[in-house]
Structure 1
Amino acid sequence: MDEDTRYEAVRSRDGRFDGEFFFAVSTTGIYCRPSCPAVTPKRRNVRFFATAAAAQGSGFRACRRCRPDAVPGSAEWNVRADVVGRAMRLIGDGVVDREGVAGLAGRLGYSARQVQRQLTAELGAGPVALARAQRSHTARVLLQTTELPVTQVAFAAGFASVRQFNDTIRTVYASTPSELRAAAPGARRTATPSAGVPLRLAYRGHYQSSAVFDVLAAEAVPGVEEVSGPPGRRVYRRTLRLPYGTGIVAVDERPRGWLDARLHLTDLRDLTTAVGRLRRLLDLDADPYAVDERLGADPRLAPLVAARPGLRSPGAADPEELAVRALVGTEEAQRLVQRYGKALDAPCGSLTHLFPEAAALAQADGPVAALAAALADGAVRLDPGADRDDAQAALLALPGMDARTVAVIRTRALGDPDVAPPGLDIPDSWRPWRSYALQHLRTAGELEPR
């Protein structure tokens, strides 16, 4: 898109582009999402940015009206397999906060200087600035949804000091942390972190939540996951293993322009990572407009797209777990959970265990042990920044792994939107959304479930 086209999107308040770019107004010093309901600024006063971090780096603060930090992420980062796309997925998973820029670069196989240069050239912000923008959003969520002391919020959001936290909040939101908290509706705040952090998970366009929840219900592994309630009002719950601790998440099926969720974390530093993994599981950052436009032009798929606009291709909350489950199936996965999974300190209803770590599953037998050993020693990488082609080659080299299973892993664990399993007659016209095309066929009953 050129800048004139972006301005037209702003003038029409087009929500399709929320998260795809941001605009800032030089006369007010504020940056917004394209759908901001405020009066459209004059063209000569508008600047455009690829990321919120770039707008912040140029001295603009977030709009209090449209909350541009709360938009869905750009679908581009899920589609792209280059270093910038992989870096953005890793930053979203909190790698910079945990491992620094050097850790990010090491995972990508580049030098820190190369990563800095490529991100800055394309996005207008380097990894530190991008992570800082993400920390700011996490801090705002904690300030406005919990009664945690400000000091605890600062460190839970990933800031190195309270002073850095205060300075960043003032810069990004033009408010002190206390003022930002006071501006939030009190009804949404929880008294203690033990009550969980309530979240509104944004998405763009239509969202076929019932189809996603059907998949989650069919695949649920007892002890780790559950789907309860009647269709249309179901709640999905599962346990999560996270970098600093563990978590339990609950997501409401009913779409409202967002999905309501609640996260219970043993360590609030995991909030950013947990939200990112949940968004990938539910495919919340997809661009349904682009997908439906391409697939809806195909005669076979057109009626399916018309019946279910915005159909998503579910991902994985834990890529390594998904790989094991794709290999062995739900029934065997349940047995592995009972034998090798770690029991929760305090069971929560039917949720009793975390899915076993790769190192624990390496003690199992047969193909599971081979896969688990490869995951544990890094021979197979499935993290958000993994190279999809390298991962596929490494998986195919393992005993007991066939091409169809690897296709499932590539689609779900690695979030590839354009996977065609072997043995299916899939036209090239469905590229680059073949994963979504197959999901349409499965949902319509024209293709066997995976």
Structure 2
Amino acid sequence: MKHVFDLGLDIGSVSINTVVIDEAGKVVFEDYRRTQGQPLKLVLQILESLPDQFPLAAFRLAALTGIGGKLLAELLGGVFVNEVIAQAQGTFLFHPEARTIIDMGGEDAKLILIDQDAQGNLNIQDFAMNSMCAAGTGSFLDQQAHRLGYGIEEFSQLALKSTTPPRIAGRCSVFAKTDMIHLQQGATPDYEIIAGLCLAMARNLKSNIAKGKIIQKPLAFQGGVAHNLGVRQAFRKIYDLAEGELIIPPHFCSLGAIGAVTVAWENPPAEFHLDLQALKDYLLNRPQEAQRLPALQPPMELGADHYAIAAISPEEEIEGYLGVDVGSISTNVVVIDSQFQVLAREYLMTAGRPLEAVTKGLKLIGEKLGRQLRIVGAATTGSGRYLTGDFIGADLVRNEITCQATASAAVDASVDTIFEIGGQDSKFISLEHGAIIDFMMNKVCAAG
């Protein structure tokens, strides 16, 4: 008996979800892959590597949805389906009782309100999507898991250990990250921070995308972020959902692709042949070189003198001043003498664990200078200055503006303008005769 199949593709900003559905309406193949910025090339690889039981000639239709679906529908001769309709139809197929759908993918989030008409058919009442900002989507979770040194599965599990999650800003992903860094520098456990982030994502959706809308239960949660147990728990808490009122549908990552196929069933093509040649030709002939601006000129070369460390004889006993700058991304530990000569320095990644970074920096400097060195004064600055100041028993704790200005004026008294760009902030400082007369820092967003 000759089998026929239907192909569904959801071309997202981060991943591609592929499904093959048999003539009985059963999902017989499901595939998830990250695009790595090459969605068209990846689709070709996926289709060329389909298992032998799914020959291209056996497909009677191809339905596509997602941000890259329209172009591929033209190249493959398939049907393009709007992603809101596709997601709603995919959920309705498995859970017609759902009344609210939250779909969170790599770079977008959707809220869809649905019900049934008198004939029992799907009716989309209203929907909303996030703007261009990816705050509250899967990409940000991936980024934070990587920054904290956890796999995404472990990151998901850790949130369930939380008992007192802190409040983290959810309207901007960069501002949320800044809040997380400050919490880490205050020794807040990672699992509490992760739970706070999950709650921030849920609150962000409720206050922005769902603003002014009546959320009916049950609520279906789908998309890649639905894998995250912490976010599931956050939605239960934010929307006060009882047992059974939060639905995680089957194939929750691929419901867009499944829904696209079910929409295509309503008006299937009379003739269809899945031919990859047009896609191959497009990939072969499309322009590869983008228009480019003129190359930047190389900056002034800095020689060895710019990074020189003062020479110290092994028998010499020296007095030094310790400075520690704990930033959001990196930690700098330096020892200078009374003549402003650098005796030792260390640059380390903060990695969300400022005390560990400072401890390592002090140990490395101790190994270099040993018992020759006697610290007669210590000061801290940066976003982690208070915690670190208590940790090392600092004599002074000063803000970054003061420290940047003081050091620049000490090195070169003629300096009148300072631009300082760090891992998550940038500063402009104006000096006059070594005194600060104006300054400005970036606010919430860390762009630049």
Whether the TM-score (by the shorter chain) exceeds 0.5 is no
Largest Rg, 1 or 2? 2
> What TM-score does the superposition give when structure 1 sets the normalisation length?
0.26
> What TM-score does the superposition give when structure 2 sets the normalisation length?
0.26
* Structure with more strand by fraction: 2
* Structure with more helix by fraction: 1
